[in-house]
Amino acid sequence: MAALVLFGGGGDLAMRMLLPSLYFLDHEGRLADGLKIIGAARSDESRDEYVEKVRAACRSKAEPDGVWDATTWARMEARLDYLAVDATSPESLKPLKDKVGDGPITSFLAVSPSLYARIVSAMKAAGLAEDNCRVVLEKPVGRDLKSFLEIDDAVADAFDEDQVFRIDHYLGKETVQNLIALRFGNTVFEPLWNAQNIDHVQITIGETVGVGDRWPYYDEYGALRDMLQNHMLQLLCLVAMEPPSDLDPESVRNEKVKVLRSLRPITFEEAERVTVRGQYVGGPFEGGTVKGYDEERGLDSDTETFVAIRADIDNWRWAGVPFFMRTGKRLPEKRTEIVIQFKPLPHSIFDSGDRGEVEANRMVIELQPEEDISLTVMNKKAGLDARMQLQPIKMSLTWGFRGKDETPPRRRIAYERLLLDALNGDSTLFVRRDEAEQAWKWVDEVSEAWTDGHVKPIEYAPGSWGPTEADYLLERTGRAWNTTDA
């Protein structure tokens, strides 16, 4: 019997993301007939109680999309089971092993990363790490290089690397995969994709939410470890990597790791110049008033809820092209975008004032709130005016995503793609050990530079784009962050 075991199966990630994703996959007939889904968690509840919670969780996601139906639910319900376990104890995992038997088992660890090492060791002892088993690890694995290696050594002791699936849910987002299609499925962009033609790259992940009651986790990590070490560096890798020879998981990941290895270390002398740490304070936001991070936390904390960094990639393709990244909580918009700013014309023939300003081409790859890739190009204003006048026009691929007159497809949860790939053993969109290792190495250098340079978070008001220092980061170099309507 094939089984998917969700450790932490009653927790937030499982209920909000994983189980609804499985429902959607089942609705589309994408789950194997005999697949069992087993929730495993500490709480001592019955199968019926668990099933009821899963039902409510799936329904709340599926109903608004008009895909909640009795047939799918009946199929899903028949797959479900629940077992109260202490996942760190081989003894306690025995009944789970008896339940799943010798079939292929995929175990998803949706629990605190601090438990990963002990859980995988217990899984090994309980026979849940055999050759036909896989393990899926939710990020962040570790909170620095040292703890990552400790956890990963325990994982490597139980599983071979091709059985390990380290999730970064950003890689499951449709537009992120589309970036690979855009770069390597077209001849027109790749020749321009280098320092000769690109001035700089921006990556923004803005969120309006605060940390709220997630602080016990968040305070240990902060924006640098929670978002930049994983999601942002993965996006940077996909923008910057060389063309892989094919889409084989190893080929793609080989190229990504080369980018991470080429990131210029940030020294403590430089930390203040190329990084910005911020923390939101309380104040008016979205029509109400919100608490500051320290208030949520209940004491003064030096954890950053915002980070902006200039990264440089020391290789031939990107020499001299800065990559600016910023992410934070309580920003004005939930917005994720990658901006490719091309260089200005080498010489303009439209140089007189009344012809309109010639803007350099800009490609915006928007992941959230909309999924779109657009390219701003200069165009002649229509009409018979004597002098040729120019204007920027945005060419958008949105129609391509949707089909011109069709209703937009359902916005998938990123975990749908990733759960399906893990169940099928395809690791292309998962993070390999050496990638995570390199990413931690670079991030450790940043956090050490902050410690050595005594760089503390700067306060910012909710609803702002972080401290103004984040604007100076670009302004100093004669550049500016993209604004939504640009």
Rounded Cα gap, residues 409 and 174, in angstroms: 12
Closest CA to 249 of 432, 427, 435, 424: 427
Smallest gap from residue 420 Cβ to ligand BG6 (A): 18
| CB closer to ligand BG6 out of 155 and 227 | 227
Interaction of residue 416 with ligand BG6, rule CB under 6 A: no
| CB closer to ligand BG6 out of 244 and 462 | 462
**Please, where are the H alpha helices in 190-344?**
215-223, 233-240, 249-262, 268-274, 293-297
Smallest gap from residue 113 Cβ to ligand BG6 (A): 11
Rounded Cα gap, residues 359 and 342, in angstroms: 10
User: Residues 140, 167: contact at Cβ < 8 Å?
Assistant: no
Smallest gap from residue 207 Cβ to ligand BG6 (A): 5
| CB closer to ligand BG6 out of 368 and 374 | 368
Smallest gap from residue 304 Cβ to ligand BG6 (A): 13
| CB closer to ligand BG6 out of 82 and 170 | 170
Which residues 311-350 are close enough to bind ligand BG6 by CB under 6 A?
336
User: Residues 257, 436: contact at Cβ < 8 Å?
Assistant: no
Q: What angle do CA 422, 40, 440 make, to 5 degrees?
A: 50
Judged by CB under 6 A, the number of residues near ligand BG6 is: 4
Catalytically annotated residue among 169, 200, 231, 347: 231
| CB closer to ligand BG6 out of 207 and 296 | 207
| CB closer to ligand BG6 out of 16 and 94 | 16
Smallest gap from residue 336 Cβ to ligand BG6 (A): 6
Q: Please enumerate in sequence order all residues whose Cβ is within 8 A of that of 274, keeping only pairs 6 or more positions apart, or say none.
A: 266, 309, 310, 473
Closest CA to 135 of 147, 115, 144, 146: 115
Q: How far is CA 266 from the centre of its chain?
A: 23
Which residues face 380 on adjacent strands? 390
Task: Single out the residue of 26, 81, 226, 296 in contact with ligand BG6 (rule: CB under 6 A).
Answer: 226
Name the closest residue to ligand BG6 (Cβ).
226
Give all strands (DSSP E) within 116-197, no chain letters: 133-138, 164-167
Smallest gap from residue 138 Cβ to ligand BG6 (A): 8
Interaction of residue 207 with ligand BG6, rule CB under 6 A: yes
Annotation marks residue 27 as catalytic: no
Tally of CB atoms within 10 A around 196: 11
Interaction of residue 371 with ligand BG6, rule CB under 6 A: no
Binding site for ligand BG6 (CB under 6 A): 207, 226, 336, 368
Residues labelled as active-site residues: 231
